[in-house]
Structure 1
Amino acid sequence: MKVQLMDPGDDTELGDDDPPFAEDVAADLHLHYLWDAMSGGDPFLRAVARAALLRPLADPGTIRYRQEALADCLRHPATIAELYDIAVDAVTIRRSLFLLPVHGHPDLELSTAVRMLTELADRLDRLRRVRAPVTGGFASPAFRRFFAMIEQELDDAFMARLRRTLRELSFPQGLLTSAGIGPGGEVVSQILRRPREENRRLFDRTPMRRPVFSFTLPDRDEAGANALARLRDRSVNDVANAATQSVDHVLAFFTALRTELAFYLACGNAVNALHTLGAPTCTPDPWAADATVAIGLYDPCLALRTGRAPVGNSVDLHSDLLVITGANRGGKSTLLRSLGTAQLMMQAGMPAPARDLAMRPVGQVYTHWAREEDAELRRGKLDEELGRMGRIIAVIRPGDLLLCNESFSATNEAEGSQLLLDVTRALVDAGVRVHSVTHLYEFARAVERIPTLRPDFLRAPRTDAADHRFRLVPGPALITSFGLDVYDQVFGGHDATAAVHRPTSGHGSAGCRCNSGDPDPEPGARA
């Protein structure tokens, strides 16, 4: 039996091994806020949510398959919770029965397997009872296939045969086996036999029908008891192996059911948490060929951290290269996180943090954020950035997405611009999508002059109007990032307006290099 609620081709194995740079992606995008909301306090749900989000699907058909299954789960939360409880109960049976693994003793293995299968049969019956009243209310291919499988493979005839076989394997009338005698009186050719119906009647087992040959072991005949136990083990060895494999098969089914339902429960928790804050979600379109079009896109992790719905942005991107520039604390890093998180959520089959969203799937998502200075002073910031970028380039593939936030900002304007330009151009030419937040004006102007890159530009405007704060607009880079505005807000007494329009010399303006990390305690949040 296969669950296949997350993938139409097979059961989903999320595994324990993280993809490369998973911890960096999680930290840079603040994904732990999202995972906490998805978990609802359950560590298992959090682990499933983490694994699913860090392993994006590349096939739009599979993404749509999950989206439709999730829609069913959101319409029938009580049924999904009941199915999940059955699965959890099934995978913990061994612990509830205080059964320990038994190896090398076929008779004990068979006894343990029969007890396990008897309990698992009860859980299968519970699944059948859930299926009966709800099948008409589920519309997704995933759940329609699942309930049809339950109906076909666990019908009344199968369940009756299963319970009859389990009663036989408990040997209520003793074990019946046949054997031959080999050279030297050795017992050979032992075969476990199923008693015939006529052998179960009283008069067919009396001496009036045929002679009965038997022997009785003396009370203290330990050697004889051990020999008989070995004969019994040899008789049931094949059946014990088959029964143990059956237990493993049924437990694997319930384990997969628990994992896949846990994903949908976690998605439901996230949706409820965001809707409680007034933050909208939508079902994204994964079939967008060459564009990312979003209306009201926001950072869900920011919403969950601040407890309020952030300002949304609308974007219309058609290039593999996006360059985001503009005013300090204007929401640039927040938009970058919004795009990265929405990409991962969409490719996990989750609702997206926007009013409407269409995105093209990517392979893996990588991040290259500016880091704090090494506290141990073993290497400089630029050295660390170059080394980390080199490790990313070693594993990144065409079709992947790289999010850069102030990359190579640890050096001067000219050198940082040239480094970022060389890396960006090589990656885009190789088929990698790059979204970059930068204050490097020379870099922004350089990519604008390279026709093969065809970059999209977004800019954080310099405005104090509440309606436009943190709303980015299309536009090429300006020579200033208005860093003196931040200076005025913090220290006061400086005419930022005059300063930013003052003629400058060298590379960029005085405000261009003021902020290398776009610090914003609540970027994009509503005032």
Structure 2
Amino acid sequence: MTSATTPYGVSLLWTDPLDRRAATAEETYYTADLNLDPIIDILSIENRFRQGIQNLLLRPVIDARVLNYRLDVLEDLLRTPELVSTLEEALSIITVLEGYMVQPQWEQSELRKVAWRLSELENYIVCVDHLNAALTACGGALKSEALCALRDMVAEIAREQIFHDLKAELPEMLERIRGIRSITIGVNLDSQLRPVEATLLSINTTRFTGDMLSFFNRLLGFNGENPTATEGIGPLHKAKSRNAALGEYTVRLPNNDNPLMHPLFKDLADVMDQVCHPIAQALRKFVRVNGRLLVSLQDEIAFYLGAHRLIRHLQDCGLPVCRPEIASQEARVGTLSRLYNLNLALRSAPLYRPRDLQAEIVGNDVNFGDEGRIFILTGPNRGGKTTYTQAIGLAHILMQAGLFVPAASACMSPVDAIFTHFATEERPDLETGRLGEEARRLSDIFAHATRYSLILFNESLASTSAGESLYLARDIVRVVRLLGARAIFATHLHELAADADEINAETEGESKVISLVSMVSVERGADGEIARRTYRIVPSPPMGRSYAREIAVRYGISYDQLRASLQARNQIPNDADASHHPTEENISAD
């Protein structure tokens, strides 16, 4: 039996529809550390889908078959623009269908239940016919297993005899219910013209009308033209709306209303229930027909429409976005070219305001593999270390949700978990202090991490002295090497990066430690040397004192700048030591 004919229908996200029932994912530290909110926002085409999108991003998929199953759907959408319109319209129909599948509040009214069920079946037919026609029209353009299974499922539903019977019999049932437009009530009056008795006279297929002018004309004896059978002699009073948006009305009777009205409405309900009884009997034939299989697709369709919107937005900004190749988990590799931070791109060009970002967003290459799985990343302040670290985490989250990644190309092994350890602000309510909280989080990470995990450290252990921080950080890096995990350790401890070869030599493990540097270029100008950030991350030994020089130049306290200032104030002679600091050999533009 194919997935199209299983009792659980088809899932566009899972090769086995039963996997939808998995537990809801819980928020983790990386939700905030990697700043997932902007990505969740752009993937959520409506706010009601936001929680579902978040659950998918926080539930990383490891199975390569499931990931490719999703990526194939995205490729179908990118290749076939009309398919996007089809799913957008289908989503609107399914939303209406879902509304009719909610148990009505008027269970005691047979009429309302019948009318509700008829509307549900009507929308069910519209949805099946729409999907069947649209997906069939795509023909060979559909390549993904998921959309082909959906096409087969709706085609099978449309071929079933019960569906043909429903399409043939439903219009008449709808007409019998919707054809009831009004009722005629007879009221007997006493000698004081007070209503004392009332009865139902007829059920009509037309609405009554009335106006104030007609009432006064007849009251004064000016009959005018003969009124129609449904034209009242007084104004038409309307019940107050219970839900104006849905056009629903209900009669609200105050306590001092005529007591005849209550039994009259009860009689009306009884009569209407008798009228709809034959229709209720006829509907039993279709008791097994329901739209649950279609409604279950709602969140999944919304997921793909949001993903398609994100891809098109990035392309409109001139940025690369690609389908990642899924490597085996055992390989523990991650090779990406021109990777960029998705959040940075969305801040620079929000949704619906695309602009060319090719000159602004710097892409960097990533290469997790046998030549290095632990990156000690150093560089100047605001040189892109956090941005790069976040970018790698976000790429894995997107890839393991079955989405395209912000890079020119990517080949990635799924990770079993992502752990983040970013620097936090001091919290006075913590008895252990900031260092104690950092230590607690580190302990928790290593209680759960495996060789297949990705661990992202950003300015970890910066809350203690440089000497203590270096000591602790060195041990952390050695343990990650023992574990065999992939990791980035973004830090200002250039001594840690300088010890990479020594750590590899003294610690066994399959994760080699290498040094990465956020490069700066040093230019000579009238004010001496100026260090400029390039935001390029490359394998390189640490820069050492270049960080201090960059900070000094920015704040005007470099040797050259201070010497010039003293000369300008005549505090030292103009020919005082004019030599510059020696230039670091490993400072280069790229």
TM-score (norm 2): 0.65
Unaligned runs of 5+ in 1: 173-218, 502-527
**Distance in structure 2 (CA, Å) of the matches to 1:52 and 1:430:** 28
Matched position secondary structure for 2:138 = helix
Cα 1:420–1:104, aligned 2, differ >3 Å: closer, same or farther? farther
- Cα deviations by residue, 1:211-251 (Å, 9 ceiling, x for unpaired): xxxxxxxx99x9xx99xx9xx99xx99x97993x753xx2x
Partner of 2:54 in structure 1?
50
Partner of 1:389 in structure 2?
442
Select which of 534, 539, 543 maps to 1:474: 539
Partner of 1:357 in structure 2?
410
**Distance in structure 2 (CA, Å) of the matches to 1:376 and 1:494:** 43
**Distance in structure 2 (CA, Å) of the matches to 1:15 and 1:495:** 63
Partner of 2:213 in structure 1?
none
- Cα deviations by residue, 1:470-510 (Å, 9 ceiling, x for unpaired): 11211344544613312321344445973997xxxxxxxxx
Partner of 1:326 in structure 2?
378
Cα 1:482–1:103, aligned 2, differ >3 Å: closer, same or farther? same
Partner of 2:486 in structure 1?
433
* Aligned residue type for 1:129: A
Select which of 15, 29, 37 maps to 2:34: 29
* Aligned residue type for 1:374: R
Select which of 458, 470, 473 maps to 2:516: 458
Partner of 1:498 in structure 2?
581
**Distance in structure 2 (CA, Å) of the matches to 1:103 and 1:390:** 56
**Distance in structure 1 (CA, Å) of the matches to 2:162 and 2:480:** 57
Shift of 1:276: 1.9
- Cα deviations by residue, 1:353-399 (Å, 9 ceiling, x for unpaired): 11111111111222111012226676532122223333444454552
Q: Any conservation in 2 of the 1:318–1:456 contact (CA below 8 Å)?
A: no
Partner of 1:315 in structure 2?
366
RMSD: 4.1
Residue pairs, 1:395-434, within 5 angstroms: 395-434=448-487
**Distance in structure 1 (CA, Å) of the matches to 2:20 and 2:477:** 34
Shift of 1:312: 0.9
TM-score (norm 1): 0.72
* Aligned residue type for 2:76: D
Q: Any conservation in 2 of the 1:317–1:456 contact (CA below 8 Å)?
A: no
**Distance in structure 1 (CA, Å) of the matches to 2:172 and 2:462:** 74
Q: Any conservation in 1 of the 2:93–2:123 contact (CA below 8 Å)?
A: no
Unaligned runs of 5+ in 2: 1-7, 177-262, 350-356, 524-530, 562-579, 585-590
Shift of 1:285: 0.8
Matched position secondary structure for 1:254 = helix
* Aligned residue type for 2:74: L
**Distance in structure 2 (CA, Å) of the matches to 1:278 and 1:479:** 36
Select which of 60, 65, 68 maps to 2:69: 65
State yes or no: 1:287 paired with 2:327. yes
Partner of 1:88 in structure 2?
92
Shift of 1:127: 2.0
Shift of 1:434: 2.2
Partner of 2:297 in structure 1?
257
Shift of 1:431: 4.8
Matched position secondary structure for 2:420 = strand
Partner of 1:303 in structure 2?
345
Matched position secondary structure for 1:66 = helix
Partner of 2:189 in structure 1?
none
Structure with larger RCO (C-alpha < 8 A, sep 6+): 1
Q: Any conservation in 2 of the 1:323–1:438 contact (CA below 8 Å)?
A: no
**Once the two structures are aligned, what percentage of the paired residues are identical?**
25
Matched position secondary structure for 2:376 = strand
**Distance in structure 2 (CA, Å) of the matches to 1:315 and 1:330:** 17
**Distance in structure 2 (CA, Å) of the matches to 1:404 and 1:105:** 62
**Distance in structure 1 (CA, Å) of the matches to 2:532 and 2:546:** 20
- Determine which structure has more spread, i.e. the larger CA radius of gyration: 2
Partner of 1:152 in structure 2?
156
Partner of 1:339 in structure 2?
392
Matched position secondary structure for 2:427 = coil
Paired residues, what number?
445
Partner of 2:10 in structure 1?
3
Select which of 464, 488, 491 maps to 2:553: 488
**Distance in structure 1 (CA, Å) of the matches to 2:443 and 2:543:** 29
Cα 1:373–1:467, aligned 2, differ >3 Å: closer, same or farther? closer
- Cα deviations by residue, 1:34-63 (Å, 9 ceiling, x for unpaired): 3333345x3245444333222221111211
* Aligned residue type for 2:581: A
